[in-house]
Chain A
């Protein structure tokens, strides 16, 4: 996974609460078996005027000129700002892949849904939680200054403009994983011995869970 330390980028203001994973990536795109390439379907229902599926070529679709992500300068955004309960609904990790593949590195919101939040860290996308008042301020700033860029410093836990700065809280372990770009699996596999020992003891204690080839007929 790509390490995350500091990122500076264009803001995309999405002034909504309860943006659900269906809105971020509709279910017809769950049929893709690839890990990448979801960026073109991000916010699909809002971004396009016609329906699509995994086989429709983006060039054949009618984009919705009203949706800000289709407008300059937002089309080059890498920092999304929204209100509360971002990422609620289905557990699909595809929603995070869509944001990441589009080019987003940071989502700033008042609050996040549980599973979405944890899926972010597994894909190098930084979710930043800031108080409602700051979100309101950021959205207002972005309205008056469409080219608003923010700097997000994970090491110092700060979000800043050229003249303002806000700090945010983040779980120390998660911060460390992102800063180092650690692969969760590789980290867990450093405990191979402990897992094996646990499994051996379990095999003694509950042997019926290991009578493997049974039932296959």
Chain B
């Protein structure tokens, strides 16, 4: 169809492309820059060495999240017993102070995981570019914004120039038609899609998620889906702007208000792909086919429905894949052909930028209310994504339900998603986790991660093993 038919990604790219050189490398203007303690210190040091200042300091929001403890928050920095982490958090404090950057510090009630707080504040807006020195910046694509994860040199580059040097990605469409079954969430859609297209399926692409099942997701569900685009190898995930986006943003602290709001929502109406727009790759799935997903291996693509079985190496034609399967089974301590529901759980982690928002917490509270964590489960953690999520949950009394069931209710941060703080698995332990990576050692050396939705994790905590929440009753 016509050359004027553009995808959402094409439009976002054009909206922020400052210039393109002969080699096809473009300068992309960056609207919002989110900063955390682990990937920024060296970037600020670079600015100092070169006597440079941030180009537009008001575009930056900083918060510590990756290595913060999830306990003793009332002690402020004194509550950070690991003094190396403490130095990193203090370095962020100092850098924000020296350069005049707005920071939600450790003691601020708005502190939280970068990809939770920016949307929550209305910092992430449709039609914009958002970068962060963290690969899950794809999350922000849920707002029809271009969210790009970057390295530390690029953090410094954006600080100094307000731009990123990039080559345009290819367009991929992932269409999920029909309605999701009860008990099946955005997380299951994400894992299902990664299981189908593989962790390298989206390499070099920006993935746009579309179709009835995607449209019907809340903003929080859409964030979960876009968050996982990076695990499919994509550079970014995107969902078109609509009234759900609008309703979520209205009244947020950094969102436009009054006349500016009217002007903005008018501008945002074009943030969808045109009919007939060209995609380099297309995938189409039927929502009704998707069951609750559980990963069995050491890569997010090693995933099956909870009513399925651990695969056998001989199920794979490809030698390399068969070997990868065997290696994963050895590491995970699973038997070929074992029913997924027979996998016993030692710890449960509900949190991370994928699943730690208020709807996730509500879902967990609904499932565990009036029930108890199984005796065989050593620890079950709920780590809210931000101080505001935590407050809201407490206002609704969800924390009480969650605690009564035997879960620990923690302070916000990345926590056991990457285990840079004290929250981690011991060797050999199986964890039902709502995070996004099940790599070897990700949640602690020798730890065995199973990626699931919050509902599935909550149910596994109660049962002591995985259960099919789309069918069975939960044990009391």
**Is the Cβ of B149 less than 8 Å from the Cβ of A91?**
yes
Stretch of B21-29, B401-409, B448-456 with 4 or more beta carbons under 8 angstroms from chain A: B21-29
Given contacts A34-B42, A91-B134, A115-B135, whether A211 and B151 have CB atoms under 8 Å apart is: no
Does B152 count as interface, using CB distance less than 8 angstroms? yes
Q: How far is the CA of A91 from the CA of B151 in the complex (A)?
A: 6
B204 contacts across to A, CB distance below 8 A: 114
A165-183, CB < 8 A from B = 171-173
State how many residues of chain B have any CB contact under 8 Å with chain A.
Answer: 67
Contact of A195 among B18, B38, B85 (CB under 8 A): B18
Does B53 count as interface, using CB distance less than 8 angstroms? no
Contact flags B131-163 to A (C-beta < 8 A → 1, else 0): 001110000000000000111111011001111
Among residues of B, the one whose C-beta sits closest to the C-beta of A207 is B260
**Is the Cβ of B264 less than 8 Å from the Cβ of A206?**
yes
The 4 closest A-B pairs by CB, nearest first: A208-B256, A215-B253, A33-B41, A212-B58
Does A213 count as interface, using CB distance less than 8 angstroms? yes
Does A194 count as interface, using CB distance less than 8 angstroms? yes
Q: How far is the CA of A107 from the CA of B52 in the complex (A)?
A: 32
Contact of B84 among A53, A123, A195, A202 (CB under 8 A): A53
- Name the distance in Å between B160's Cβ and chain A's nearest Cβ: 5
Q: How far is the CA of A146 from the CA of B23 in the complex (A)?
A: 40
Q: How far is the CA of A5 from the CA of B162 in the complex (A)?
A: 30
B440 contacts across to A, CB distance below 8 A: 22
A20 contacts across to B, CB distance below 8 A: 439
**Is the Cβ of A173 less than 8 Å from the Cβ of B418?**
no
Does B203 count as interface, using CB distance less than 8 angstroms? yes
A171 contacts across to B, CB distance below 8 A: 23
B410-466, CB < 8 A from A = 418-420, 439-442
Taking A114-B203, A198-B29 as known contacts, 20 extra A-B pairs with beta carbons closer than 8 A to each other, sorted by chain A number, are: A22-B440, A27-B420, A33-B88, A34-B45, A35-B46, A90-B135, A91-B135, A92-B39, A92-B151, A119-B153, A123-B153, A185-B52, A185-B161, A188-B27, A188-B161, A207-B263, A208-B256, A209-B128, A211-B256, A214-B254
A7 contacts across to B, CB distance below 8 A: none
B149 contacts across to A, CB distance below 8 A: 91, 115
A208 contacts across to B, CB distance below 8 A: 125, 256, 260-261, 263-264
Does B91 count as interface, using CB distance less than 8 angstroms? yes
**Is the Cβ of B58 less than 8 Å from the Cβ of A27?**
no
B270-316, CB < 8 A from A = none
